[in-house]
Chains A and B, each alone.
Chain A
Amino acid sequence: MTHASSNKWLSYALLILLGFVMIYPLLWLFVSSFKTNQDIFGSSKLFADTYVWNSYSLGWAGTGQYGFQHFFVNTLKLVLPTVVLTIVSSVIVAYGFSRFTFPLRTFLFSIMMATLMLPDATVMIPRYILFNKLGWLDTYLPFIVPSAFATSAFFIYMLIQFFRGLPRELDESATIDGCNSFMVLIRVLLPLCKPALFSVGIFQFIWTWNDFFNSIIYISSVKKFTVSLGLRLSLDASSAVSWNQVLAMSVVSVVPCIVLFFLAQKYFVEGISTTGLKG
């Protein structure tokens, strides 16, 4: 018994130590956003001697023509439709795969699973050329439109796994009560799969919010910059004067994701443990 409890203390010690290493960079980021340049560099102390309180307001206002408020609104304009369309399209497709038999079903399912491994790099250039021809460059359409077509196999698979866990008797009794298949989905299954819908939505929100590569290739005018691009802009623009503002805006740019993560961390861990790919 004593052996077991000493083991337990060892585990705790290890977890706390490692947890501190994991979280330290994020703590440092937050605290340092209130530091002066001297304290940001060349000091190992987490807390500083002098604090400055205007890094957030100055950083938020920005140095150029557009402030961070502008980039935030832009990002929401991009992310929210993408999230909504991803949820709707993925649910419909997952329902089709998990509840119906139809010609080529197994074949299509294997193709879908194979696309999980298809490197984005291979399709990115023709997509870019296609969007250019459609006149979609420097708009948010390259993000929004594909999401309406359930292009992420990860989410479909996650939802299929979830649907499989719901008893088919529910569908059958609703059908006997006169529901057509679409009503079965809307009235019976959707209320039951809220947790899965949340995890799809949250994952998509965070990934799209943080996405840098697609932002940098599709968005070119500063007026339409997202938070990611705005942050990089401020990193390039800052002439070694106000690093705390850059750190402050880094904090601000991850706050929505952190808040969302803590509100919904239950769904998160559930969602990723049913399939759990990226990251």
Chain B
Amino acid sequence: MARKKRSFRYIGLIYVLPWILGLLIFQLYPFIASFYYSLTDYNMVNAPKFIGLDNYKRIFMNDPGFTQALKVTSIYVVLAVPVKLAFALFVAVVLSAKLRAINLFRTIYYLPSILGGSVAISVLWRFLFMKEGVVNSLLANVGIPSIDWLGNPDIALYTLGLLSVWQFGSSMVLFLAGIQQIPSDLYEAGSIDGASKTRMFFKITVPLLTPIVLFNLVMQMVNAFQEFTGAFVITNGGPMKSTYLYALKLYEEAFTFFKMGYASALSWVLFAIIMVVTGIIFKTSNRWVYYEDGGKTK
């Protein structure tokens, strides 16, 4: 019996073993190796040559491409993520009403997120927003002069951001699930006190959803920092590098020029940025995230 009990202690570990191996081979090893490569000059033909912090020095002091990519990506993240989340929250509130055909609406709103990162959707965006594309034709009907959505360096990035906002579905579904957890007596109490809908939204719905806001914010931010397909297929970074997102820069260095060391250093800078931003979000979160148990289980 005692022996059986002991062997039992490790059974769980055996089930988890595939993941542990996967973690070591496909995540932990690459993670460490990436840092090592970032200190080398490596083109995949010759052996990696250790050059210390030279890659990082070049990134910060002598690479206009990096500066541009960082600038463009920051704007993209700061604009696309909050707009997407605000939109997702708004639609989730409307969709939480007890209406007929509600499932059909949920499906329609979720569909763009499903097709999200596919090349087909990027192709579609390119056609819609071409100078003589359908969006401009629609605007012409209401008398708005045509806009060069993808050709104007001041606008192209926002056109890509719109693609990201259009895919608000998965954040929306999470908000929706959260809203359905909110006990209805809170709203009843609110309406007895004579609170308006708007007031109840800001005093009941939003505070109770803040844990989901936090989760959505972090995940969408991590994804937005690495956005690639849209910028690559629709604008290829242009015009005038106005949509030269960080992932494009990384891709170019690694898989066009095969500067694996330099690209690794770029990936570590991105990692550090994402960690710092995530850290700030989590640090400030106890000021704006509401936990029903007062934050004890966090």
Contact = CB atoms under 8 A, between A and B. Distances in A.
Contacts of A181: 11
Interface in A149-191: 149-151, 156, 181
B250 interface: yes
Interface stretch (A61-69, A76-84, A256-264): A256-264
Contacts of A92: 15, 18
Interface string B1-20: 00000000111111111111
Interface of B: 9-23, 25-27, 29-31, 33-34, 37, 44, 91, 94-95, 97, 99, 103, 105-121, 123-125, 127-128, 130, 132-134, 137-138, 140-141, 166-167, 169-171, 173-174, 176-177, 218-219, 222-223, 225-226, 228-229, 232-233, 246-247, 250-251, 254-255, 260, 263-264, 267-268, 270-271, 274, 278
Contacts of B219: 116-117, 277-278
A116 B173 CA distance: 19
Interface residues of A, number: 92
A249 to B, nearest CB: 8
A124 B264 CA distance: 9
Given A149-B18, A213-B251, A274-B177, 15 more contacts: A11-B97, A22-B166, A25-B166, A96-B15, A103-B9, A111-B23, A130-B33, A149-B19, A149-B22, A150-B19, A212-B228, A254-B115, A258-B115, A261-B111, A268-B110
Nearest to B255: A217
B31 A211 contact: no
16 contacts: A11-B94, A41-B130, A93-B18, A96-B17, A121-B271, A129-B260, A130-B30, A149-B22, A149-B26, A213-B251, A254-B115, A265-B107, A269-B106, A273-B176, A276-B171, A277-B219
A41 B133 contact: yes
A128 B267 CA distance: 14
Interface of A: 8, 11-12, 14-15, 18-19, 22-23, 25-26, 28-29, 32, 40-44, 89, 92-93, 95-97, 99-103, 105, 108, 111-112, 115-130, 132, 146, 148-151, 156, 181, 206, 209-213, 216-217, 227-228, 231-232, 235, 243, 246-247, 250-251, 253-254, 257-258, 261-262, 265, 268-269, 272-274, 276-279
A250 B124 contact: yes
B225 A119 contact: yes
Nearest to A154: B219
Given A119-B274, A206-B114, A212 B13 contact: no
B111 A26 contact: yes
A196 to B, nearest CB: 15
B173 A269 contact: yes
Contacts of A111: 23
A102 B111 contact: no
B44 A132 contact: yes
Contacts of B91: 18
Nearest to A203: B114
A129 B33 contact: yes
Contact of A247 (B116, B123, B167, B176): B123
A253 B120 contact: yes
